[in-house]
Structure 1
Amino acid sequence: MIRHLPPSRYRFPDPRDAEGDLVAVGGDLAPSTILGAYRQGLFPMPTDHQLGWWSPLDRAIIEFSDLRISRSLSRSCRRFTVVENQSFEDVISECAHVRRPGGWITPAFIDAYTDLHNLGWAHSIEVHDRDGELVGGLYGVQIGGFFAGESMYHRVSDASKVALVHLVGRLAESGGHLLDVQWQTDHLRVMGASVIGRDAYLDRLAEALQGGPVFGETSLGPVPSAPVIPEKGEN
């Protein structure tokens, strides 16, 4: 069940005014701060040992109708069992595993997103093999009809792709409006991800936030006047 949250201590600069992908640094990973950032088109990720808030100039999204499912992936979908929100901590811990190159999911991020999960805002898709072992999955955050895909992993071939197929189907069937996957990668491009400009993304986001929730009712307090997180380069 979604829990109502108090307003964040922070407000963010307008990402439309930022020259690059990095919009702000500082702040905290409190649930209200993270959700407030997503509502403004930002997401957290470390940068130079600081907490960065990003809104890429070129934003990767997956249009539900553009999802590409090859014949081999279609066969893989029948080989696995997919469930939701049963092993969130296991999924995010696997996504954060040190063996993964370019890893950025620190213990602080694990704690923050696990808190969001316990509050009903963050969700996981879990893929199990025929022996019942967890072999892949993904996690992200939902606000209204918007879902921010944060990270995915697999232990066996196609397991993360199967999780993504399930998520897209869930969003499409339940009235979702926008699946954000942050930056384009070769893996996501193969699955049908495309890139739109930041202004277009922010317009799409505003519409999606008004949509009905996919995983449950959402409620977020008003954004207050509060200390501004400094933009990149400010003192």
Structure 2
Amino acid sequence: MIPWLGRSPAFPAIETALAAPNGLLAAGGDLSPERLLSAYRQGIFPWYAPGEPILWWSPNPRMVLFPQQLHVSRSLQKVLRHRPYEVRFDSAFAEVMAGCANSARPGQNGTWISPDMIAAYCRLHALGWAHSAECWMDGELVGGLYGVAIGRMFYGESMFARRPDASKIAFVHLVRWLDAHGFAMIDCQMHTDHLARFGASEIDRALFLQQLATLIEYPSAPMRWHYAETALPALSNAPSPP
């Protein structure tokens, strides 16, 4: 059994999360900005299917990407240099969430990004906590991703692509921007081969929480992230320690 959350934004101790399913911590509560921000500050995130109660997770190990360890394949570097595109931040947040919600994913029936989730994260966006990175081609939004930023910590949530490599383009621009602005860790939540190819890896939850506690204490970036780029210089894959 897991605890059922009431009106209080408090969560149970992370150490009480289940091992199977990995990281399930609590159920219930709401998606208010106060509760969501409290969750992210403690390394907790919501993930549940429509029709289920809200489920809260903190898996162990934790998949993270240290921005300085971003790996970009040679083929993607070529795309970044030569394919015509524009990357923007925070210009179409709701549309990015809708794109993620409507994106078909192998092994998944439907989406966890419900209308309630979209409304909740749009509220966070309006308050300056949630952000989108978008790839535009020929004036059309063709891919992107969204997440939450607290201090120098970025929590990635979901991405989508309507054209080949569109989400990858937005992702690489975002990671490089985060690195340039002092962000030291990106939460990828759970392992995927896709993120592992970019250099993400699993670390023990205790280490994740230790670093998280430091990073969220930095002043937060501006409410709106202004960015519009059409190219990246040649990228080095030589990793630096976080």
Q: TM-score over 0.5 for the alignment?
A: yes
How far apart are the structure 2 equivalents of 1:98 and 1:181?
A: 18
RMSD of Structure 2 on Structure 1 (CA): 1.7
Task: Work out whether 1:120 is the aligned partner of 2:132.
Answer: no
Residue aligning to 2:90: 85
Q: Answer whether contact 2:103 2:160 (CA < 8 A) is retained.
A: no
Alpha-carbon shift at residue 98 of structure 1 (Å): 6.1
SS at 1:127 equivalent: strand
Alpha-carbon shift at residue 215 of structure 1 (Å): 4.1
Give the aligned residue type for 1:92: M
Residue deviations 1:52-100 (CA, integer Å, cap 9, x gap): 1100111100111221111221122232210100000110001001634
Q: Answer whether contact 1:145 1:177 (CA < 8 A) is retained.
A: yes
Q: Alpha carbons of 1:173 and 1:133: their partners in 2 closer, same or farther (altered >3 Å)?
A: same
Task: Work out whether 1:19 is the aligned partner of 2:27.
Answer: no
Residue aligning to 1:36: 38
Q: Which fold has the larger relative contact order, with Cα–Cα distance below 8 Å and residues 6 or more apart in sequence?
A: 1
How far apart are the structure 2 equivalents of 1:91 and 1:211?
A: 27
Residue aligning to 1:167: 174
Alpha-carbon shift at residue 126 of structure 1 (Å): 0.4
How far apart are the structure 1 equivalents of 2:197 and 2:222?
A: 27
Q: Answer whether contact 1:60 1:183 (CA < 8 A) is retained.
A: yes
Q: Answer whether contact 1:25 1:50 (CA < 8 A) is retained.
A: yes
Give the aligned residue type for 2:65: I
Give the aligned residue type for 2:156: G
How far apart are the structure 2 equivalents of 1:67 and 1:175?
A: 14
Give the aligned residue type for 1:82: V
Alpha-carbon shift at residue 166 of structure 1 (Å): 1.1
Residue aligning to 1:66: 69
Residue aligning to 1:225: none
Equivalent residues in 2 for 1:1-235, closer than 5 Å: 9-20=8-19, 21-46=23-48, 49-78=52-81, 79=83, 80-97=85-102, 99-101=104-106, 102=108, 103-129=111-137, 131-216=138-223
Q: Answer whether contact 1:171 1:214 (CA < 8 A) is retained.
A: no
* Count of aligned residue pairs for this structure pair: 209
Q: Answer whether contact 2:9 2:34 (CA < 8 A) is retained.
A: no
Give the aligned residue type for 2:47: M
Alpha-carbon shift at residue 16 of structure 1 (Å): 2.4
Q: Answer whether contact 1:176 1:211 (CA < 8 A) is retained.
A: no
How far apart are the structure 2 equivalents of 1:98 and 1:108?
A: 17
Identity of aligned residues (%): 46
Q: Answer whether contact 2:43 2:209 (CA < 8 A) is retained.
A: yes
Q: Alpha carbons of 1:98 and 1:71: their partners in 2 closer, same or farther (altered >3 Å)?
A: closer
Unaligned runs of 5+ in 2: 1-6, 225-242
Give the aligned residue type for 1:160: S
Q: Alpha carbons of 1:107 and 1:216: their partners in 2 closer, same or farther (altered >3 Å)?
A: closer
Give the aligned residue type for 1:31: P
Unaligned runs of 5+ in 1: 1-7, 218-235
